[in-house]
Chains A and B, each alone.
Chain A
């Protein structure tokens, strides 16, 4: 067992330092690059926080949809092949819901400020 602090806490400490102490002191193209770097660290923190539960739920949905078992990669490959062949489509019960949930979970990690994502989060909570 590795000791604390967790990777999550370490990365957050670095990101916070870069954001509050370094970013204000840097200008020009390097300021842009620094912002991209901080965004990358923030993304990693979100993935470390959210991905495990989202991946487990995705795998469970895929197993139900496909009736088979396998790694997340294998299950996604199997679903992709079935969609390509037309064996599963939007009329298939559960497919649209699965794709929506999986995509929302990806956006929550990748780009939670993306306008389409924010709109769909709002839609979900209203319905």
Chain B
């Protein structure tokens, strides 16, 4: 069904395209979907991805940048030479596909366990931390004048948001309280430089090939703020998938990440990075609790959501390892 609408849409921006095949939904809740499909063209098949809010689901939640902003960020990153898919088309309402955009499909892997264990990525793994440092620096250096309108965040605002969300669950967690207290006591204040922040720079949103990083995806949480946030988030233990002695995504060291970042002339502030790692660990914990809330009250009564609720305790042990390490 969607193939007919896609075929009409594709013909409008890719003259000569004769149709669309292999459309399959990759992921999506009620309000946002990702589809993969192939554009059939006499010059050769083109792999494509549709990211859309279906008709009737226009409004994005308050933290989301919005699909139009995502499309322009992805294109800006591509134009700046960063590993980012090319945007092929931004949807028009009259095409009947909802709002969103179509991008070129980049082949590779996003599943952390495969990236960390499969033989085909063995040569890439030692390169990734440094590569990602460089990519993060490239994102933070994108020209401000060209960027879309995005929310602006500070550490103080982020602590407030997290605390409000945690309190709304009405379920006491002394370890989260300790972390909130630590964050307030160690709030480094506004950063000297405010840049574009990807906001979700971690496994799942990175396409990796045997040669290394191929694309950064999912700009949904992009905002303006402290660039060190992205470096702290990718070090959160929840994204190490068992490889806990390799802080960057389970494949590399902070030193490699920072060296890649500084290769570009930008500076790393390790104290701020550590602050954002603590914040990120708590943020993932609060998100796990949020999954449990949605399981209980929302329409999505799934086992997966319920079980993610039982992963909040993983972030509690990680927060204790950061804030109250035991004598070794």
Contact = CB atoms under 8 A, between A and B. Distances in A.
Contacts of B240: 115
B181 A86 contact: yes
B303 A36 contact: yes
B175 interface: yes
A104 interface: yes
B172 A110 contact: no
Size category of the B interface is 20 to 34
B237 A123 contact: no
Contacts of A103: 175, 313, 316-317, 320
Contacts of B327: 127
B172 A106 contact: no
Interface string A54-70: 00000000000000000
Given A37-B303, A116-B317, A120-B317, A99 B174 contact: yes
Interface stretch (B59-67, B272-280, B304-312): B304-312
Interface in A91-111: 96, 99-100, 102-104, 106-107, 110-111
B244 to A, nearest CB: 5
A98 to B, nearest CB: 8
Chain B facing A: main interface SS: helix
A83 B324 contact: no
Interface in A61-88: 73, 76-77, 79-80, 83-84, 86
Chain A facing B: main interface SS: helix
A98 B303 CA distance: 31
A124 B240 CA distance: 22
Contacts of B320: 99-100, 103
B314 A116 contact: yes
A96 B173 contact: no
A99 B178 CA distance: 10
Contact of B314 (A79, A80, A114, A123): A114
Interface string B206-218: 0000000000000
Interface in B84-127: none
In the A-B complex, list the 7 residue pairs whose CB atoms are closest, starting with the nearest: A83-B177, A80-B172, A106-B313, A76-B172, A77-B172, A115-B242, A110-B313
Interface of A: 33, 36-37, 39-40, 43, 73, 76-77, 79-80, 83-84, 86, 89-90, 96, 99-100, 102-104, 106-107, 110-111, 114-117, 119-120, 123-124, 127
Given A37-B303, A80-B174, 18 more contacts: A33-B303, A39-B307, A73-B172, A76-B172, A77-B172, A79-B177, A83-B178, A99-B320, A99-B324, A103-B317, A107-B313, A107-B314, A110-B313, A111-B310, A111-B313, A115-B243, A124-B326, A127-B327
